[in-house]
Structure 1
Amino acid sequence: MAHDRVSARNRHPRHERRGEARLPAVVATLVAICLYLALPQQLLVAPRYALPALEVLLLLPLIAINPKRLTRQTKTFRVLSLTLVLIIAASNLVALGLLVDQLVHAKIADGRSLLIAAFQVWLTNIIVFGLAYWELDRGGPVSRTQVPREELPLADFRFSQDENDDAVQEVADGASKVSDWVPTLVDYLYVSVTNSTAFSPTDTMPLSSRAKLMMAVQSVAALLTSLLVIARAVSILH
């Protein structure tokens, strides 16, 4: 038990300024790109490979700047990373709009392809908003591990670890004040999953206006997918 407590105080990415691993964000981005590539042609607003090619071109220099761990940040790095997330988010929201339009005007008769497309849009929605929260909260992934806490930008989200320092010892040992914990991509993806399924925050609360606005957009997009798209697809199947 004592060993576990010591590990809790030293295992988080801020320690020794190691930075967060690059690979999870790369994998999440590539999955979102592949999901877009697999969408039906009528849900695309540009040639199938145009936007994915642009997204890969934006991703490559980001990997080059921080190939293994996110420890270096420049203005160019910040602009590229936010632009990449914005493009993925915009293209997915447009695909959702086109999907709803196809349904409203009864242009799709294949319920199975519709269900698959709805799932692709919904899953991309989770990934891209998780990436957006990850990129923006407390200055982004580099800032969260490299900048002293007193110099961090104001938080966009309050995680349970941020207020657990007065809980029972086995919980408090993993709190932000005790272990110097900061959220990683997995934490933001979890926030995104719960917001897309419960249509509201669960254990993580939005603090800033931009966080609340993004969560509202994500919830509405997920609600449209769940209620309108899937309901229509099931009715077609029957």
Structure 2
Amino acid sequence: MVTALLAAICLTVLLPHELRFAPRFLVPGLELALLLALILGDPGRIDRRTRWIRYASLTLVTVLILGALWATGLLIHELIEGKSAVANDASKLLETGAVVWASNNIAFSLFYWDLDGGGSAARLYLAPRYPDLAFPQQLSPEIAPPRWRPLFVDYLYLSFTNATAFSPTDVMPLAPWAKVAMSVQSLVSLAILGLVIARAVNVFS
């Protein structure tokens, strides 16, 4: 999880100035400060159940999601206007599109990881009777070890497959928030991939 967060922070720094919400290092600095607070407050497995750690975790995920969606909206605006360097340089456009797309996927994976079943700490101590996201190992317990719990990599896989298939693959959303989140991510991914590829082909031609 920490590796994914650091990757998301690095991707934020790589965004061109046209897609930034604030000065280059302001949002990444805030994200890094929140991450350090989480690590210092709960070193190791992020399994302590305290209110301030929960709030810090939710704040960090919120900042990541809003930053990724903000960059997505500005990228779509730049593509529609077609006047900036990002929209008229195919190489820069593909690079920027990849950064925004990956940022969204990491942000949504953290969103799923932090909300499913009340968060990682809650899932560790008590498996929810009715999960928000149903993994194959939960639907078919005979194929998984006893007391199986989804790890962050399972949510990362969920996020990337949802972004490429534009629909659930092997993980089913059961809670309303999960259905809304996966729908939003699918639409965002479809918009990024469709518009970026179409614009890049137009620039190349």
**TM-score, normalising length: structure 1:** 0.82
The amino acid across from 1:62 in the alignment is L
In 2: Cα distance, 1:56 partner to 1:129 partner: 18
Match of 1:174 among 131, 141, 144: 144
Identity of matched residues, %: 45
Who is 2:158 aligned against?
Answer: 191
Match of 1:124 among 103, 121, 124: 103
1:173-206 CA-partner distances (Å, limit 9, x unpaired): 515xxx1101010111111011000000011100
**Aligned pairs, how many?**
202
Who is 1:82 aligned against?
Answer: 58
| Gap runs ≥5 in structure 2 | none
1:36-68 CA-partner distances (Å, limit 9, x unpaired): 100111111211111011111111110012211
Match of 1:133 among 108, 112, 117: 112
Matching of residue 161 in structure 1 with residue 161 in structure 2: no
Residue 154 of structure 1: how far off its partner (Å) = 3.9
In 2: Cα distance, 1:213 partner to 1:163 partner: 21
Matches within 5 A, 1:1-238: 25-107=1-83, 108-147=87-126, 149=127, 152=128, 154-165=130-141, 172-174=142-144, 179-238=146-205
Whether the 8 Å contact between 1:139 and 1:153 is mirrored in structure 2 is: no
After TM superposition, the runs of 4+ consecutive aligned structure 1 residues lying more than 4 A away are none
The amino acid across from 2:70 in the alignment is V
1:44-96 CA-partner distances (Å, limit 9, x unpaired): 12111110111111111100122112221211111110110111111111111
In 2: Cα distance, 1:45 partner to 1:173 partner: 45
The amino acid across from 1:183 in the alignment is P
In 2: Cα distance, 1:164 partner to 1:94 partner: 39
In 1: Cα distance, 2:197 partner to 2:65 partner: 21
Who is 1:11 aligned against?
Answer: none
1:142-172 CA-partner distances (Å, limit 9, x unpaired): 111123x3xx37421011111213xxxxxx2
Residue 139 of structure 1: how far off its partner (Å) = 1.0
The amino acid across from 1:206 in the alignment is P
Whether the 8 Å contact between 1:137 and 1:155 is mirrored in structure 2 is: yes
Residue 111 of structure 1: how far off its partner (Å) = 1.2
In 2: Cα distance, 1:214 partner to 1:112 partner: 30
The amino acid across from 1:113 in the alignment is K
**TM-score, normalising length: structure 2:** 0.94
Q: 3-state DSSP class of the match of 1:34? A: helix
Larger Rg: 1
Whether the 8 Å contact between 1:156 and 1:207 is mirrored in structure 2 is: yes
